[in-house]
């Protein structure tokens, strides 16, 4: 149809790409450019960038009314990545580009005034969206080439300027394609062998790694809580390719991937400052972007000085820990961000840090200690599987031989994860910590004596149903580390002792600690 063209683009919606049909129509009215279809400010401003870029590339902007429709009209479009499809659509509608060459074409890129193509935020989810929409040819900016090459099954051509794209479309000559970037070396995590003493906490860290459990470390300053937490990534198995792509999509949408080396090798480790707001943790902004809990997806979220965080921000984590995702409802729409992370938290026993530490006298009064403790609600603590006290370490231990290295512990963790993978095959759950409460009784495979021990703990300690299920998950991980098909009484006793320290007074001998 003369004066009409259609080409595919894509826009970010949360951490996912959404395909946008860019329709352009020229009409014999006073010259003007109208962009409709819920465009955000950056998209509305594209008209000025496109006009200048076409002129700089030797083209002629049509001297007619230009109407650009971005479909679907109900999806709010943001970002400057629609510049290139708008420019090509306008030139095709004016006859400068053969419209038949736009069939199945997907375009991404922000235009500079001189016609250069700039990289776009979220290039990876955008190109995946175009691939899933069966675009037969995808062209993007050379500035995002490394990131575009991460999308499997989507050969992407790249160009450095608008003129190269126009020449390729007019003479039907392909542009250079991008190859997947090489894997960079992984950033090593601190080795567990540098942690001296703290056998109880080290054992809890191994169980947490084996089953994907949350862990709260309490203790006086300087007892190694932060160091223990930072060793956890070195104990976890490598990310499978599918999960690594999922994580990179989130970091791409947040604009955090290195343009030159965008590949993530290890699991993410996020450690936000305790001044982080609720929006900083969960995500937000306009348009909404992922927060720390989503950036830690499939990795570790470390919250140091846990009681110092704003209480409202901490309470917002309760639903996320249960569901594994963040659901934001805004005027712009509903956004779902993945957030299946492993929470590791550290806390002092009081504001000065030395309450009942045995190191020095505590300077806090009862009221200050009470206010400090009230920052952490019972429902939040109930959702953390393991609670461990890190006690002061003597100089003899500090000056002694190094402990077990991360490599040895990681081997045991991998073996335990393999057992879980076989048990949970086809369920969609990856670790024991993800098993829902209505399935844990069936999948835990606990010995009757172990169930009896859990029942005694529930009665004597007043444990909630959620707490009992979480103890059962931890016991399953303890048994997996030992290679046992059933949860025996020793595994259950160790799980209860690690979650409810008050249980240690009546647990039977041989609790494995």
pLDDT in tens, 167-197: 999 988 889 999 887 776 667 788 888 888 8
What pLDDT digit, counting tens, does each position of 471-480 carry? 999 999 999 9
pTM (2 d.p.): 0.90
Q: What is the DSSP string of 119-185?
A: P-TTHHHHHHHHHHTT-SEEEEEGGGHHHHTTSTT--EEEESBHHHHHHHHHHT-PPPBP-PPPPPP
Domain 435-513 has CATH 1.10.8: yes
* CA 260/CA 250 separation, integer angstroms: 17
Identify the pLDDT of residue 399. 64
Identify the pLDDT of residue 397. 66
Identify the pLDDT of residue 262. 80
User: Crossing angle for the helix pair 406-423 and 199-211, nearest 10 degrees?
Assistant: 40
Identify the pLDDT of residue 507. 52
User: Crossing angle for the helix pair 465-481 and 437-444, nearest 10 degrees?
Assistant: 40
Contact 138, 156 (CB under 8 A): yes
List, by residue range, all CATH 3.30.230.10 domains of the chain.
4-171
Stretches in the chain below the pLDDT threshold 70: 1-2, 184-186, 332, 394-400, 501-513
Which residues have CB under 8 Å from 442's CB, separation 6+? none
Find the Cα–Cα–Cα–Cα dihedral 164, 170, 173, 175, rounded to 10°. 30
Identify the pLDDT of residue 400. 67
Domain 192-407 has CATH 3.30.565.10: no
Q: Is 370 exposed, middle or buried (0-12, 13-18, 19+ CB in 10 A)?
A: exposed
State how beta strands 342-347 and 300-303 pair.
parallel
CATH number of 4-171: 3.30.230.10
The residue count of the chain comes to 513
List, by residue range, all CATH 3.40.50.300 domains of the chain.
192-407
* CA 42/CA 32 separation, integer angstroms: 18
* CA 17/CA 14 separation, integer angstroms: 8
List, by residue range, all CATH 1.10.8 domains of the chain.
435-513
What pLDDT digit, counting tens, does each position of 256-303 carry? 988 878 887 789 999 999 999 999 999 988 888 999 999 999 999 999
């Amino acid at each position: 149809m003369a004066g009409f063209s259609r080409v595919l683009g894509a826009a970010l919606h949360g951490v996912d790409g959404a395909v946008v049909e860019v329709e352009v129509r020229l009409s014999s009215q006073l010259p003007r450019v109208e962009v409709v279809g819920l465009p955000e400010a950056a998209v509305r401003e594209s008209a000025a960038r496109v006009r200048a870029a076409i002129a700089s590339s030797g083209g002629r902007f049509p001297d007619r009314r230009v109407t650009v429709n971005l479909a679907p009209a109900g999806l709010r479009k943001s970002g400057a990545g629609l510049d290139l499809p708008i420019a090509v659509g306008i030139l095709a509608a004016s006859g400068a580009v053969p419209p038949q060459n736009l069939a199945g074409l997907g375009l991404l890129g922000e235009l500079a005034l001189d016609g250069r193509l700039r990289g776009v935020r979220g290039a990876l989810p955008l190109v995946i969206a175009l691939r899933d929409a069966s675009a037969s040819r995808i062209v993007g900016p050379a500035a995002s080439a490394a990131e575009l090459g991460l999308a499997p099954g989507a050969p992407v051509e790249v160009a450095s300027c608008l003129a190269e794209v126009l020449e390729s479309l007019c003479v039907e000559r392909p542009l250079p394609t991008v190859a997947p970037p090489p894997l960079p070396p992984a950033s090593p995590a601190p080795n567990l062998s540098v942690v001296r003493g703290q056998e109880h906490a080290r054992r809890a860290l191994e169980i947490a790694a084996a089953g994907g459990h949350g862990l709260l470390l309490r203790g006086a300053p300087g007892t190694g809580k932060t160091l223990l937490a930072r060793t956890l990534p070195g104990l976890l198995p490598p990310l499978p390719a599918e999960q690594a792509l999922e994580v990179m999509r989130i970091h791409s949408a947040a604009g955090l991937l290195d343009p030159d080396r965008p590949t993530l090798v290890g699991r993410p480790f996020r450690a936000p400052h305790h001044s982080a707001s609720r929006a900083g943790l969960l995500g937000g902004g306009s348009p909404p972007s992922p927060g720390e809990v989503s950036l830690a997806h499939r990795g570790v979220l470390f919250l140091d000085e846990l009681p110092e965080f704003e209480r409202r921000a901490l309470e917002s984590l309760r639903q996320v820990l249960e569901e594994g995702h963040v659901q934001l409802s805004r005027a712009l729409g509903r956004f779902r961000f993945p957030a299946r992370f492993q929470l590791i938290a550290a806390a002092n026993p009081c504001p000065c840090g030395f309450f009942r530490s045995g190191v020095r006298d505590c300077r806090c009064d009862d009221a200050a200690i009470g206010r400090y403790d009230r920052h952490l609600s019972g429902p939040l603590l109930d959702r953390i599987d393991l609670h461990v006290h890190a006690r002061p370490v003597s100089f003899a231990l500090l000056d002694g031989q190094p402990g077990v290295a991360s490599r040895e512990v990681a081997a045991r963790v991998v073996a335990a994860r393999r057992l879980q993978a076989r048990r949970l095959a086809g369920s969609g759950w990856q670790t024991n910590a993800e098993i829902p409460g209505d399935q844990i009784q069936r999948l835990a495979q606990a010995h009757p004596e172990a169930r009896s021990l859990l029942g005694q703990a529930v009665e004597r300690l007043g444990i909630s149903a959620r707490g009992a299920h979480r103890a059962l998950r931890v016991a399953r991980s303890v048994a997996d580390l030992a290679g046992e098909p059933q949860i025996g009484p020793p595994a259950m006793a160790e799980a209860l002792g690690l979650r409810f320290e008050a249980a240690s007074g009546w647990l039977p001998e041989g609790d494995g600690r």
